[in-house]
């Protein structure tokens, strides 16, 4: 368990330090859904939908990339339906474990929709490279996979 934490921290550190050697930085002012679409098409990731403030992509998982209205960050998120019959205390126990042990992402439970959302905020306010952003999205997918594994009895997911 400690090894997984250290591994996630190491990967996150590697992604963060890569940004210093990535060449050209993109200004947050240049970020639009069309620009994000181009980034992911160039990375051979399926772009499923493009709207005014977000895009929907599918790599190993389906994700939404939402651009902050002040262009400070891009939130990366995935939504999963909670298993029918899962009890609230079981759900919250798994979510507490995820929020403690998977340091990169946070999960939130929407009780009325019976869904869980996983989030990561990729900060862009001082610029970023396309490659670093794609790496962060791939790392987010690994974090979600790790989070899903925190339900060993498969009672929630």
Closest CA relative to residue 33, chosen from 71, 77, 80:
71
Output the six-digit token pair for 126. Answer: 């001082």
Percent of the chain with pLDDT over 90: 62
Rounded Cα distance between 103 and 147, Å, is 10
The residue ranges of every structural domain in the chain are 2-11+25-148
Tell me if residue 95 falls in helix, strand or coil: helix
For residue 32, CA distances in Å to 45, 74, 89, 107, 124 come to 17, 10, 40, 26, 12
User: In sequence order, what are the residues at sequence separation of 6 or more whose Cβ sits closer than 8 angstroms to the Cβ of residue 69?
Assistant: 53
- Where residue 118 falls (left for φ over 0; alpha for ψ -120 to 50; beta otherwise) is beta
How confident is residue 3, by pLDDT bands cut at 50, 70 and 90? low
Tell me if residue 24 falls in helix, strand or coil: coil
pLDDT at 21 over 60: no
Task: Give me the CATH code for the 2-11+25-148 domain, please.
Answer: 3.30.1460.10
Burial class (CB in 10 A: 0-12, 13-18, 19+), 36: buried
pTM for this model (two decimals): 0.80
User: In sequence order, what are the residues at sequence separation of 6 or more whose Cβ sits closer than 8 angstroms to the Cβ of residue 77?
Assistant: 63, 64, 66, 117, 118, 119, 120
Give 93-143 pLDDT, tens digit per residue. Answer: 998 899 899 988 988 889 899 999 999 999 999 999 999 999 999 999 999
Order of strands across the sheet that contains 62-67? 46-50, 54-58, 62-67, 73-81, 115-123, 106-110
């Amino acid at each position: 368990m400690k090894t997984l934490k250290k591994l996630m921290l190491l990967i996150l550190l590697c992604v963060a330090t890569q940004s210093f050697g990535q060449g050209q930085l993109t200004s947050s002012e240049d970020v639009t859904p069309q620009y994000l679409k181009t980034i992911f098409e160039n990375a051979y990731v399926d772009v499923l939908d493009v709207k005014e403030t977000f895009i929907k992509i599918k790599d190993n998982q389906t994700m939404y990339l939402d651009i902050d209205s002040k262009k400070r960050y891009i939130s990366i998120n995935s939504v999963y339906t909670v298993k029918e019959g899962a009890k609230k205390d079981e759900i919250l126990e798994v979510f507490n474990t995820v929020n403690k042990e998977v340091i990169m992402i946070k999960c939130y439970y929407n009780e009325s929709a019976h869904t869980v959302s996983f989030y990561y905020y990729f900060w862009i306010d001082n610029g970023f490279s396309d490659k670093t952003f794609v790496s962060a999205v791939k790392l987010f997918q690994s974090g979600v996979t790790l989070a899903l594994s925190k339900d060993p009895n498969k009672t929630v997911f």
